[in-house]
Every structure is written in C-alpha cells, then in structure tokens.
Amino acid sequence: MTLASPAHGPDEQLRISFEFFPPKSPDMEDQLWQTVDDLSDWNPDFVSVTYGAGGTTKAPTFAAVERLISVNGLPTASHLTCVDADKAETHKVIEDLRALGVRHIVALRGDPAAGIGTAYAPHPNGYANAAELVVGLKEIGGFEISVSAYPEKHPESADVARDIEMLKRKADAGADRALTQFFFDNDVFERYMDQVRAAGVKIPVIPGIMPIQNLTQLKRFASRCGSSVPSFLDARFAGYDDKPEDRAKVAADVAAEQIEDLRRRGIHDIHLYTMNRSALVSAVLEKVGKVKVKRAQAGAAA
C-alpha cells in the first residue's frame, strides 16, 4: 500500500524527535550539519546525540551538542552512559553537559566497551545500570530524563518480563519518558505496551522508527540490537537493489505506513533514527502530513 494522504487531521497531532550521532570525519561532519539544517524546519520537540561506551565519543558529542544548542537553537538531549566510568567521572560529564546548556539527558547503561555481545561488567565505583544512573541524575537535579525501552527485549535480557522490570526501575527512579529501540511490527509494540502498563509503568513510551536506508545493512545492525526484521520487508524491497530512487520511495512508504498505523492506535509521539541523513526522513514526514515551520538559528554558524 502507498499512502496517498495522511489518515489524520492537523499535523500538530504528531510530535517528533530526531536522533543524530557525532561525526567521525570531516565529511561526516559536513553531512551531519546539512542534515540538521534540512530537518530543523520539521519543528522537532527535541533532538538527541548519541554517546559512546565509556565516553569514546565524548569530544565530538560535546561539540555537536554545543552547536545544536548555541547555533541551531534546537532543544537538545545528550545521551549519557555509565559503562566503564566511576561516579565522579560520570558527574563531571553531567556538569560539563549542563555548562553547555543541556537540560535533557538520555540515561543509558551503555554497551560493553569491548563491543555488543561481550560480557558487561559494571565499574566497581560507578553506576551499575541505567536505573542507578537515573537515581544519580535526580539527586543532582535540573535535568529532564529519558531512558531506553526494548519492545523485543534487550539482547542481554533473559526475557521481555525481566526487561520490563528494568524499565519499571528506571521509571520509578524518576525517568520522564522512554524511547524505544526501533521495530517494524506494530503488533509487537502493542503487546509490549500491554505488558508495560500491566507492570505499572506509567511514563510515556515513545516508539523509535528507523526509516530503512539499506535493508541488508539494517539486518546486520538489527541482529546486534535485538530487533527483528519481518519477512514482509524483503518482499517490499524485492527488485529495487539497482533502482535507488524507487527503493527510497518504498522506504518512505514503509516508514510512513508504520507511523500512520501507530497514530490509528493512539500514538502521536515518534522518535526518528535519522542515521544523519535527511532526504528519507523528510520524505516520510511529508507522507504523514507533517508541516515544516521555519526556525531561526540561535547564532551564526561556526
């Protein structure tokens, strides 16, 4: 099915946020800032910037966060992990982020420094997990706090029920909302939310949507993240390997259809994983009837 028009009325019903990652090269930096410029006029509620395990991307994360706030004038959340850091180091990062103007933190445990799939060991003098990190952030004060949620469970969790127990701990500690790992089957998300609410978790849980830039690469990435890629996606993208323009249209339709179905189910907040690329994200938002609002930048570009 291709969406001809949005299934809902005013675009104000759809609130969006974007995730970016810090660039690792000059070319990637140019791409990030072009993407930010392109997407700013979609009027996101906030944007977030990822942060590597043990602060491995600390400097570029800080630079990106500072520019998003001071130049682009966007409400900006910084991811923060507690892996491989003691509490004093983590508190120093928190205060450094505050000095940059950050008032919203996405609190995460973080992947093991040795990589996804390796054993996680908490720092003996640090926060053992994201729930403890939320407790620490609340004690420090002055921050809005988002956390992660996993409709198909975190790869290290024994089962969904135990995963939801951790989400409840984060919510009970004072988190304001949860942002989910990406998924493609809305029935999976709805069943998950039934379990989340039954467990007494009352905070908003915002679906994470990943527009598909490259299906083959996505499958590799999803296998590491614990997300499944339904077989219907193979059928949707079949025959378009050598047709990039047609493939992009299919990708935009797939994401737009997922968002519209979520809206029919009563969901009106969406977190978009941009992969630092704007064209596909913009195409999706156009298809669901979102309207651009010209934003004024906070200052001259650096």
Predicted confidence (pLDDT) at residue 168 exceeds the cutoff of 60: yes
Relative to beta strand 46-49, strand 269-273 is unpaired
Reply yes or no on whether the pLDDT at 120 is more than 80: no
Give percent of the chain above pLDDT 70.
88
According to the CATH classification, is domain 14-211+268-276 in 3.30.565.10?
no
Give the pLDDT confidence score for residue 290 in this predicted structure.
96
Whole-number pLDDT of residue 117? 58
| 11 contact partners, CB below 8 Å, separation of at least 6 | 288, 289, 290, 291
At residue 57, the pLDDT reads 72
Q: Where are the domains of the chain?
A: 14-211+268-276
pLDDT at 3 over 90: no
Q: What is the pLDDT of the chain when averaged over all its residues?
A: 90
Contact indicator for 71, 120 with CB cutoff of 8 Å: no
In this model, does residue 55 exceed pLDDT 60?
Answer: no
Residues classed as catalytic: 19
More confident residue, 116 or 203: 203
Q: What is the pLDDT of residues 124-158, one digit of tens each?
A: 788 989 999 999 999 999 999 999 999 998 888 88
Q: Which of 15, 23, 16 is nearest to 275 (CA)?
A: 23
**Residue-level pLDDT at 174:** 98
CA 21 to chain centre: 10
Distance CA 160, CA 152 (A): 7
